Amino acid sequence: MNNTTRWEPMEDLITLRDAMNRLVQESVARARPFLPGYSGNTGFALDIYESDEAVIVEAELPGVKPEDVDIAMSGDMLTIKAHRRQKEIQPERYLGQERHFGGLSRSVRLSSDLDPEQASAEFQDGVLVLTLPRREESKPKIIQIKPRAG
């Protein structure tokens, strides 16, 4: 009975490369929250969708009060800033802390045919719903077909 194993150097090299890639990716991903000056995710989730009439932006802002949200539009750039306040707990009393407190901000480039003067915003259950209507001249026009005489 022959118990020899054939060595395939190319398979071993590919396996070694994959292992090194995983090692580097996992070590960087796990170490990032512990880097000095890193405060975690400073953004929040956005959904952006459109209709013929408007562009709607929904932002998840749990734990944020409506008065702590600022919305600005300059040209085609929309910026939403929020501030999540931290509970008054002494740092040495924490057993774990994963939620981000402080400033949150997102900026997105939108269509330039929006009218920020007519925008409306609602805030319910930690979700900001911002409706940015399209300018009248950029809305789709329906053209009626008239029958020809004769």
Report yes or no on 146 lying in a domain: no
Rounded to 10 degrees, the C-alpha dihedral 34/92/64/99 comes to 30
Report yes or no on 149 lying in a domain: no
pLDDT tens digits along 48-78: 999 889 999 999 998 899 999 999 999 889 9
At residue 79 the predicted structure's pLDDT band, cuts being 50, 70 and 90, is: very high
User: 76, 83, 131: which is closest to 104 by C-alpha?
Assistant: 83
Report yes or no on 150 lying in a domain: no
- Same domain? 63 vs 82: yes
- Which domain, by its residues, includes 107? 46-89+99-136
pLDDT, residue 31, reads 44
Mean pLDDT to the nearest integer, 17-21: 73
Report yes or no on 69 lying in a domain: yes
- Same domain? 12 vs 83: no
At residue 12 the predicted structure's pLDDT band, cuts being 50, 70 and 90, is: low
- Structural domains in the chain (count): 2
pTM over 0.75: no
Taking the CA atoms of the chain, what radius of gyration do you get in angstroms? 26
- Same domain? 68 vs 119: yes
- Same domain? 22 vs 75: no
**CATH classification of the domain holding 50:** 2.60.40.790
Report yes or no on 148 lying in a domain: no
What is the spatial distance between Cα 105 and Cα 127, in angstroms, rounded to a whole number? Answer: 15
The residue type found at 26 is E
Q: Are 69 and 128 in contact (CB under 8 A)?
A: yes
- Same domain? 71 vs 21: no
- Same domain? 65 vs 112: yes
At residue 84 the predicted structure's pLDDT band, cuts being 50, 70 and 90, is: confident
Report yes or no on 3 lying in a domain: no
Which helix (H) or strand (E) segment is 22 a member of? Answer: helix 9-31
